[in-house]
Structure 1
Amino acid sequence: MRRDGSKVATMTSFIAVDWGTSNRRAFRIEDGQVVASERDDRGAASVAAADYPAEVAGIRQRLGDLPMLLAGMVGSNIGWRSVTYVAAPAGLADVAAALDWVDDRTAIVPGLSYRDGVHADVMRGEEVQLLGAVAAGLVPAEALLCQPGTHCKWATVERGAITRFTTAMTGELFALLRTHGVLARQLGHPVEPGAAFLAGVAEGAKRDLAASLFAIRARGVLGLADDADAASFASGLLIGADTAARIESGTTVHILADPALGALYAGAIDALGGTSHAIDSQAAFVAGITRIKDLAA
């Protein structure tokens, strides 16, 4: 249902696009199942606003001339057009009611905002996966969800709605440390979820992040640690600090991420006394966007 109360044609088959900053994924969905998909690097940061009609037409040429729902940074100020956020607490029905219709067959998912005193937060695209995980029964209606990435999202779901959430720039900080500053030369090795990573998690839980980061430099200079382990330790340090700020002993966290990154967060959560559960993020997205489609019909 649109904001003006009018209905749109029921979409049995449709195209859903998860349009991130750097990448995008497009799915042809029929009766709730993905029958075709594509992924490329045509993220919002590389597409000018005037080029979106051609991009959307190209997706339709490849995946089918079908109605389309677009989620993610396509609805931001670096995307096609800026769409007003839905304020949390919000569920899928609230999101569906606020779809921004570009035309009769193309709509942009709005994203969520959250305010608590001086603290403010926003998300675009993650809400589809987070709420979709609940809609698909992959997580309980009352849960703490974690979606790691460049900007890690931690969301509390109550009665099937996102009531509050926090974004941590964990991945971006690690990328910056790896490419700029005094630690860059030490952080070139791959991150492994082993002893060095877990040592970093334990150090990060002390939450003295600035000092703990410089100690990586000092240990290398003094020969107290192998630089081959520095990237794993630094990653553990950042993820450990992020995780320790969100959970207590006994907290259950449902993680939506690719297997490699998800394993790092699972290791940190479990090491700090929580219990982690891995969730299929694509299944969650498909469930969420399909439910939004159904509610908008």
Structure 2
Amino acid sequence: MSMHDNDAPIIGINWGSSNFRAFLIAADGRMLDSVEQPRGIAGLDRMQMQALLEQTVAAWPDAAAVYACGMVGSNIGWSDAGYADCPATPQRLAAQLHHTRIGQVPVAIVPGLACQRAQDDAPDIMRGEETELLGLLAGGALPLDGLVALPGTHSKWVQLQGGAVVSFLTAMSGEIFDRLTAAGLLASVVDGPAVEGAAFFDGLQHGHAGGLGLGSLLFGARARVIRGQLPRPDGASWLRGVLIGAELADVRRLWPAALQVPLPMVGAAPVCALYAAAVHALGGSARTLLSHDAVTRGFLALHRAAQVTP
């Protein structure tokens, strides 16, 4: 394999904790083939990781190079790729690609991103989303300046400036919701999924208002159901509303003008729909972007940058 073969396809692998997604990417950006398996690094030992990678690459022998992003480059993955400090561009990330071997296969692992937010002097990190963001920027789907939201298990709110990632905020709202509704005290007062509706918007307003702390507000879901003020089927919606409301309050503390312009959102359709509804309820607007090829475009942007990076 040679990173300087301009015409050959490349392989890009998004390897997270739970899933393995590999793509054969043509030099013009087309996705030629793909493989997806629920075989994330959290469930594999090193021999299993090596076997999966080698099997995948063997099916695409004409690839010029192999890139990987996600938790494969974390301290619990194959090899720690570290973090690149913001501001981040394809050129900066290409200069900090972590070159390693998985078995006999040379792999360039994309580092995560790290920032120290100016607004509150707090550190933050991301791993995996940086490649998707670069792909969206390369494809012209995002403005060069402004804020973009990536709702999910660990939602990211990313500040772009001149086409570079300069800062971001991570919120664990999705993971908190999943854990609270799967086990523990609050799991007993929810019945059904979180959906847009009166209960969701009521929770949203409570979470966004900045009164009681989140711990007190969350227990309020149980009190409301037990006292007959919240139907059990609405419990999940109210909880989700509280969490998203508190998250949006944090976003507005850091970026007061966040909801004054249309906000691009990238992620799974159901969760983006809830976040978009929340933004609209708080006086803003949001548009959901299709991101099916964002990661592949990101790998290609990094590959092109790597070809000209000393």
Same fold (TM over 0.5): yes
Return the offset for 1:49: 3.3
2:305 aligned residue: 295
Paired AA for residue 274 in structure 1: G
Return the offset for 1:92: 1.3
Paired AA for residue 149 in structure 1: G
Give the alignment of 1:54-133 within 5 angstroms: 54-64=51-61, 66=63, 67-103=65-101, 105-116=106-117, 119-133=122-136
Q: 5+ residue gaps in structure 1?
A: 1-5
Q: 5+ residue gaps in structure 2?
A: none
1:13 aligned residue: 9
Q: Does residue 221 of structure 1 match 2:226?
A: yes
2:164 aligned residue: 161
Provide the rounded CA distance (Å) in 2 between the counterparts of 1:95 and 1:284. Answer: 16
Q: 1:286 aligns with which of 281, 296, 309?
A: 296
Question: Structure 1 53/242 Cα, relative in aligned 2: closer, same or farther at 3 Å?
Answer: same
Return the offset for 1:235: 0.9
2:280 aligned residue: 270
Return the offset for 1:281: 2.0
Return the offset for 1:52: 2.7
Provide the rounded CA distance (Å) in 2 between the counterparts of 1:130 and 1:201. Answer: 28
Normalized against structure 2, the TM-score is what?
A: 0.88
Over residues 1-36 of structure 1, what are the superposed CA-to-partner deviations in whole Å (9 max), with x where a residue is unaligned?
A: xxxxx9644363111111111112211111201122
2:22 aligned residue: 26
Question: What's the secondary structure of 1:199's corresponding residue?
Answer: helix
1:3 aligned residue: none
Return the offset for 1:118: 5.2
Question: What's the secondary structure of 2:169's corresponding residue?
Answer: strand
Paired AA for residue 164 in structure 1: S
Return the offset for 1:62: 4.0
- Residues 86 and 113, structure 1, Cα contact 8 Å, conserved in 2: yes
Provide the rounded CA distance (Å) in 2 between the counterparts of 1:32 and 1:7. Answer: 16
2:142 aligned residue: 139
Provide the rounded CA distance (Å) in 2 between the counterparts of 1:154 and 1:68. Answer: 29
Question: What's the secondary structure of 1:183's corresponding residue?
Answer: helix
Question: Structure 1 180/14 Cα, relative in aligned 2: closer, same or farther at 3 Å?
Answer: same
Provide the rounded CA distance (Å) in 1 between the counterparts of 2:267 and 2:220. Answer: 30
Same amino acid, percent of matched pairs: 37
